[in-house]
Chains A and B, each alone.
Chain A
Amino acid sequence: MHITLKTMVVALGFAGMASAAFAGPVSEQMLAQDPSDSWLHTNGNWAGHRYSVLSQLNNRNAKDLKVAWTTSVGAKTDSQATPLYHDGLIYFPQDNKVFAIDADNGKIAWKYEHKLPDDWGGYNVPFFTGKHRGVAILGENVYFLSNDNKLHALNYKTGKPKFVADYQKDGIVYPKDFAKAGDANGYISTVGPMAVPGAIILPMNGTDTGGLEGFVLGVSPEDGKLLWKANMIPRPDEPGGDTWPAGSQKYGGAGPWIAGSYDPDLKMYFTGTANAYEWNPKNRGGGEMDNVGAASIVAVSTDSGKVNWRYVGVPGDPWDFDIPQTPMVITIDGKKTIVQPNKTGYIHHLDAKTGKYLKADLFIDKINWIKGYDKNGRPIDMIPLPKEGGDPVEIAPALLGGVNMYPNAYNPNTGNLYLAATESSMKYGFEDIKLISNVRHFGAYQEFNFGDEVDKAVNVKTGKEVWRDTQVGKPGYAGGMLTTAGNLVVYTTQGGRFTVADARTGEKLYELNTGIAAKSGPITFMHKGKQLIVQPLGGTPGFGRDEANGVEFGHAIIAFTR
């Protein structure tokens, strides 16, 4: 109760002074706060909470919500980005463009467009092209990472580029058309940058476009020049370096592909990483070697790029259970704790400073891949691997998760995590690894058994479920979760039902069928004295299967207020 009141007072304070404090260029001090008038990080704050201190909209008046405006950016693929809002404009990346949208009426204030290279292409590349999960803002620049890994610093009022930086000379090449390139391997950026003191953080992932090893780059906010480059996979002389057969690291995957988190006291950036590559583990220890750094949580010093620690959540990951989800930083019993709900079906807790495993709470109903985690954070009794070319094994959850790329939230007042979860299983088997234009293919396949979308609240301390909202017969995930000091949780189902619920009880307070799939998280902010909630929508529901949700491909951005 004490915390709630205190938070409310802080929230009211922000609401009163915000238009003055949150106009003009974005300072590092603004970036350090929980979101109030502005929404300045993909995940709301550095800690990855997606929690706003605003309470003008709350559980008493949410029933009076109405649509303020709608707009569209004509998306040609899934809309996965969480927008930012600052000083009157909403920033949204889509299809290698950045749109600034007027929060008054949804009109496009400016648009910046980037053209991909002519030889762009390769393994899985059409799947990724045009998707983005966020932008960053600092000073007068909106920072956008295009699919071909170029950093574009755009003036936040005009969209004019201050600089465009390219990291190919630093080894970050883009994937190329199979038919045009002898070597088609490359990195593809879908995750957005993050602004921290002194650096823009750029996660670099090449995992499912051939397996080039993952990095986190720190670059200068002024000109985009590389400051440091942190390798997710340890070098042979680093801790965990001996968990990879010699030579397997180069195409070992482990790319970061979801926005990480940052702690200003520890000065560490925390990121989850993708699976080890190839999916068929025969070239990287056959599942018997841990492949540390892949399917891991990695802490990187933002001063130097030194890796502080790596925790592997799925040793030798043979299942594509990468754990790329945002590692939230939450203080629990006085200890800064990394809390990461992930594909494995568990919520992992680690000591933020050391990476020491603390516990893992199960949050899904159906699981068979392990029987739990032991006190050292290692899986207990993992299911035996299928034989290459033999019968697949039935495994739960599927590589869909658990939770997947759709962001979760944490509310310090309720103590609850809000999870965009799903139930699923799969038959999973290994095949020969095909090599085309030097690109190693997965060497694995799956047959999914889709379960229900289950949106739920889980108490972070106890790991116990508090409430759930099951979309019966409808596979997929909510687009992402938002929670507020107004005791609200906001999400849109994969089938397009915009939902505002009581954060403590899950009681639905407002619903609107938008008719469009949600694949991104909503945000909230203050604009001209009114609290708005903005939800981007777009794409095809489920994994391309639109029948269950009865929703076709579409796109919109909708703003709500009262």
Chain B
Amino acid sequence: MQGISKKRWGRWVVALSFGFAAGAALADDAIPESNPYSGDEKAMREGKSWYRGVCAACHGGRADGAGERGNGADLRKFELGFKGFVHVVLEGRQQPGRTMAMPAWKGVLKNDDIYKIGAYLETMAIEGANWKEGNRH
């Protein structure tokens, strides 16, 4: 198991600002306050399949960021809450000065599938993660 570095916490703060900046332009009210699929077994199975097929290459099968494509965030400690998660997936996330980035999935993945991925990732959460509320900072 690998711990998350301070740098990565920082990256999520950066990601958050991107996410919320983007949120202004997004139909924000279309995203529910909480994940409608939390705890839904069927949705989580579908979310797992999407996660493993699309996300695991960078974020790793364990969601710890140790994917073959490298540099994925450790999603077990995701702390931006459900709406923050949806924003980051839709809008992507840049790392200043770096080429590798989280691509934007808006117009590619359906919101419903993103929610299902989130429902699956909630099951991978470890201490310190937040999949419920918005940003706690």
Contacts and interface: CB of A to CB of B under 8 A. Distances in A.
Interface of A: 76-77, 95, 121, 124-127, 129-130, 178-179, 389, 392, 399-400, 427, 429, 431-434, 436-437, 441-448, 450, 540, 542-548, 552-553
A544 B66 contact: yes
Contacts of B32: none
Interface of B: 2-3, 5, 7, 48-50, 52-54, 56-58, 60-62, 65-72, 97-109
Contacts of B48: 431
Given A441-B54, A553-B98, A540 B70 contact: yes
A127 B53 contact: no
B7 to A, nearest CB: 7
Q: Which of A76, A126, A547, A553 has the most CB of B within 10 A?
A: A126
B100 A434 contact: no
A445 B58 CA distance: 10
B49 A546 contact: no
B99 A433 contact: no
A76 B98 contact: yes
Contacts of A126: 99-103
Contacts of A436: 54, 108-109
Nearest to A540: B71
Contacts of B3: 547
Given A436-B108, A443-B53, A429 B68 contact: no
Contact of A545 (B54, B58, B65): B65
Given A179-B104, A543-B66, A544-B69, 8 more contacts: A77-B99, A126-B103, A178-B108, A431-B53, A434-B49, A447-B62, A447-B66, A545-B66
29 contacts: A76-B97, A76-B99, A95-B99, A121-B103, A124-B69, A125-B103, A126-B102, A178-B107, A179-B107, A392-B61, A400-B68, A427-B61, A432-B49, A433-B53, A434-B50, A436-B109, A443-B53, A446-B60, A447-B62, A448-B60, A448-B66, A450-B66, A540-B71, A543-B70, A544-B66, A545-B65, A545-B66, A548-B2, A552-B7
A445 B61 contact: yes
Nearest to B55: A445
A399 B62 CA distance: 16
Contacts of B97: 76
Given A126-B101, A547-B5, A179 B71 contact: no
Given A126-B101, A126-B103, A179-B106, A544 B71 contact: yes
A93 to B, nearest CB: 14
Contacts of A433: 53
A552 to B, nearest CB: 7
Contacts of B70: 127, 540, 542-544
Contacts of A95: 99
Nearest to B98: A76
B12 to A, nearest CB: 15
A552 B7 CA distance: 10
Contacts of A76: 97-99
A519 to B, nearest CB: 11
A546 B5 contact: yes
A344 B30 CA distance: 48
Contacts of A124: 57, 69
Q: Which of B58, B102, B106 has the most CB of A within 10 A?
A: B58
Contacts of B104: 179
B2 A545 contact: yes
Contacts of B108: 178-179, 436-437
Contacts of B105: 178
A65 B58 CA distance: 39
Contact of A547 (B2, B49, B53): B2
A113 to B, nearest CB: 14
Contacts of A442: 53, 57
B99 A130 contact: yes
A37 B57 CA distance: 42
Contacts of B56: 445-446
A155 to B, nearest CB: 27
A450 B64 CA distance: 13
Contact of B99 (A129, A542, A545, A546): A129
Contact of B68 (A389, A446, A540): A446
A543 B67 contact: yes
A399 B68 contact: yes
B61 A441 contact: no
A445 B67 CA distance: 9
A95 B100 CA distance: 11
Contacts of B72: 544
A419 to B, nearest CB: 20
A399 B57 CA distance: 12
Nearest to A430: B52
A441 B103 CA distance: 15
A350 B3 CA distance: 44
Given A392-B61, A434-B53, A77 B66 contact: no
A447 B61 contact: yes
A121 B107 CA distance: 14
Contacts of A432: 49, 53
Q: Which of B5, B56, B100, B107 has the most CB of A within 10 A?
A: B100
Q: Which of B50, B102, B103 has the most CB of A within 10 A?
A: B103
B5 A543 contact: no
B90 to A, nearest CB: 11
Contacts of A429: 52, 61
Nearest to A548: B2
List 9 tightest A-B contacts by C-beta distance, closest first. A544-B70, A447-B61, A544-B71, A445-B52, A445-B56, A77-B99, A130-B99, A434-B53, A179-B107
A179 B57 CA distance: 19
A548 B102 CA distance: 23
Contacts of A542: 70
